[in-house]
Structure 1
Amino acid sequence: MTGMAPSPPAPLQLIVGEEEFLVERAVQAVLTAARAVDPDTEVRRFRVTELTPGQLAEHLSPSLFAEGRVIVVAGAHEVGKELATAITEYAAAPTDGIVLVVLHAGGARGKSLADDLRKAGATQTKCDKITRADDRADFVRGEVRRLGGKIVPAAVGVLLEAVGSDLRELAAATGQLISDTGGTIDEAAVRRYHRGRAESSGFAVADKVVAGDRSGALEALRWSMALGVPAVLVADALADAVRTLAKVGAAGRGDPNRLAGTLGMPPWKIRKAQGQVRAWHPEALAVAFAAAAEVNAEVKGAAADPDYALERAVRRMIDAREAR
């Protein structure tokens, strides 16, 4: 007996909220569902500020060979009147095989478009910003349930203390702990994870790249892949490392304690970057910026093989550092 065929996602998707990780996860869920039906489904991403009504119509038009397509339109709270009208008119009669995903930050700005999409039957996913400790604890418990595991109450607080408030890292840690423990997370498991996570995190890869340690960076990258660290975490760490170098380099050789407030970084991080940035000439940083931006886009849906995209980015960044 064969299994049931996968169901395609609804043709209209409205994702509301400002929690970036949850928004990206919701987009990825739509893309995964679409590719379960048609593995060749293409994804195209735009901001409303980049689109005219005519361009939107072109992207939402059926193709000659009826390939699947997911069109992601971000920043709907910034939409202009003409584009809002075009989106609303399309929503009344969406094209078969095309999924339109509209991202809206929430709030009153551009609310009429969100309301029109709801009236048109769009599937809504809420991704409200998570700022309170209790909400982060709820997020952790929800992740554990989603993965089919259990977590003892005391372990939730220990995990938040060990990992911090970043949802991407909390999700990665929860997934790894479920895998490590076989399904039940206790305080001891969290403490073991915290001791070992530095060597397998995206930041370990980024540190090696910034230092120009090619073999170390590639080894750290492959180790993180083996342990299941999400590619998006590594890509984010690479981007953060390059941004830090650029900001610290532009600030000059001032006192890290005085620069901390201006740069929004702790003094130790500034001091470390001041020692590293001397090895990066401006052209190398420009190449690294481009590589980081490209790999971030690739691991969020544009690349068939995110692991290969990460390795290519690591090599490209170190090549730029070594070029004179």
Structure 2
Amino acid sequence: MATARSTKTKIPQLSWTEAQPAPVVLISGPEGFLADRAGQMIREALKQERADLEVHDIDAASYNAGELFTFASPSLFAEPRLIRVDSVEKCSDAFLEDAKKYVTQPAEDTTLVLRHGGGVRGKALLDLIRGGNGVEFVCAEVKKDQDRLTFVQSEFRRLGAQISPNAARMLVAAYSGGLGELAGACEQLVSDVGTRIDEDDVNRATEGRVETNAFKVADAATAGRAADALVLLRQAFSTGTDPIPMLAALNFKMRGIARAYGATGSGGQLAKDLGMAPWQADRAVKDARAWREEDLARCIEMAAETEWLLKGGSRDPEYALEKYLLFIARRGRER
């Protein structure tokens, strides 16, 4: 009977952007930055209601029996409580048992926020919450460039600013690391430039970044401009750029071309099928037409070989990268 009741009352999985307080909150998914942002939103909402909010933090991995109930116990002055639990995916057995008891009967004036990064550990607790004993906000991993572009656009809206489409794409290309770095770049641009951002603003702000240099090299190589690509690569080396980020940019471009090889359809459908922005899909399809299938397959093999050479397999990693770059720029053909 309990299982049937849980099925009927299964809660929806909401976006992290909708995060708000509830007696039991599950923040799930691998994207740590978004999870932190969701947690901050909940804390700020509670602080606006009551400035005397008590905040307690628990590490589920090192939890000792009874801690949760101790923090949830009413204080002398009856202040509201926020209990934040991290690393639920690594929780101790003691936490799992206490949490399963707690979520079925949460304490009054208490918000319990559980952070679960993924995996099977703690599944019984998650099933209990999803069965109707809480709310869930999902922080899915952001991997596709289109998703990162959407994130950038939403960040500027949050900051009360506007960025041109091409400038947003340049920013995404320049900051290929975590979302935290990308969000910080958005805030810095608004602070330095103002609420209207264009391509020149982004170009000035990202000038000299390793990622920006790397993508300029990759763009030249995949466009077939061997001489330009080689000059840009050697300029990057002369400024101390590490070969690994350069290889990553080349491989990123080549994976897109490989996915686009032989693809057909309208621009919008191609972008959806390939998991790219429309302009990227068009470029990848165009670049793919210059390749033969056997040469493209060899390029994928050469990418793995070059990575091995750059990570200790060669005494001259710069030469190894130059060789790979010229193979790409010449589309696998000797000239």
If the TM-score is normalised by the length of the shorter chain, which range does it land in? 0.5 to 0.7
Q: CA deviation at 1:170?
A: 1.0
- 1:194 pairs with 2:189: no
Q: Once the two structures are superposed, what CA deviation does each residue of 1:255-306 show, in whole Å capped at 9, x if it has no partner? A: xxxxx958xxxx9xxxxxxxxxxxxxxxxxxxxxxxxxxxxxxxxxxxxxxx
Partner of 2:58: 46
Task: Report the 3-state secondary structure (helix = DSSP H, G, I; strand = E; otherwise coil) of the residue aligned with 1:89.
Answer: helix
Look up the equivalent residue of 1:137 and give its one-letter code.
Answer: L
- Using the alignment, how far apart are the partners of 2:164 and 2:114 within structure 1? 38
- Using the alignment, how far apart are the partners of 2:199 and 2:134 within structure 1? 42
Q: Once the two structures are superposed, what CA deviation does each residue of 1:149-180 show, in whole Å capped at 9, x if it has no partner? A: 32221112211233332211211211232344
- Using the alignment, how far apart are the partners of 1:28 and 1:135 within structure 2? 22
Report if aligned partners of 2:63, 2:94 keep a CA contact under 8 Å in 1. Answer: no
1:1-324 to 2 correspondences below 5 Å: 9-195=21-207, 261=311
Task: Report the 3-state secondary structure (helix = DSSP H, G, I; strand = E; otherwise coil) of the residue aligned with 2:66.
Answer: helix
Change (3 A) 1:15 1:82: same
Report if aligned partners of 1:136, 1:165 keep a CA contact under 8 Å in 2. Answer: no
Identity of aligned residues (%): 38
- Using the alignment, how far apart are the partners of 1:73 and 1:166 within structure 2? 23
After the TM superposition, which of the residue ranges 64-73 and 77-86 deviates more from structure 2?
77-86
Report if aligned partners of 1:77, 1:105 keep a CA contact under 8 Å in 2. Answer: yes
Structure 2's unaligned 5+ residue stretches are 1-19, 211-309, 318-335
Look up the equivalent residue of 1:92 and give its one-letter code.
Answer: T
RMSD (CA atoms): 3.1
Look up the equivalent residue of 2:142 and give its one-letter code.
Answer: I
Look up the equivalent residue of 1:30 and give its one-letter code.
Answer: I
- Using the alignment, how far apart are the partners of 1:53 and 1:120 within structure 2? 25
- Using the alignment, how far apart are the partners of 2:63 and 2:30 within structure 1? 21
Q: How many residues align?
A: 199
Report if aligned partners of 2:174, 2:209 keep a CA contact under 8 Å in 1. Answer: no
- Using the alignment, how far apart are the partners of 2:78 and 2:57 within structure 1? 19
After the TM superposition, which of the residue ranges 106-115 and 57-66 deviates more from structure 2?
106-115
After the TM superposition, which of the residue ranges 79-88 and 45-54 deviates more from structure 2?
79-88
Q: Once the two structures are superposed, what CA deviation does each residue of 1:190-213 show, in whole Å capped at 9, x if it has no partner? A: 123235999xxxxxxxxxxxxxxx
Change (3 A) 1:61 1:71: same
Structure 1's unaligned 5+ residue stretches are 1-7, 199-259, 268-324
After the TM superposition, which of the residue ranges 99-108 and 71-80 deviates more from structure 2?
71-80
Q: TM-score, normalized by length of structure 2?
A: 0.52
Report if aligned partners of 1:91, 1:120 keep a CA contact under 8 Å in 2. Answer: no
- Using the alignment, how far apart are the partners of 1:98 and 1:196 within structure 2? 49
Larger Rg over CA atoms: 2
Partner of 2:252: none
Partner of 2:239: none
Q: CA deviation at 1:103?
A: 0.6
Report if aligned partners of 1:40, 1:68 keep a CA contact under 8 Å in 2. Answer: yes
- Using the alignment, how far apart are the partners of 1:35 and 1:29 within structure 2? 10
- Using the alignment, how far apart are the partners of 1:122 and 1:191 within structure 2? 45
Change (3 A) 1:45 1:261: farther
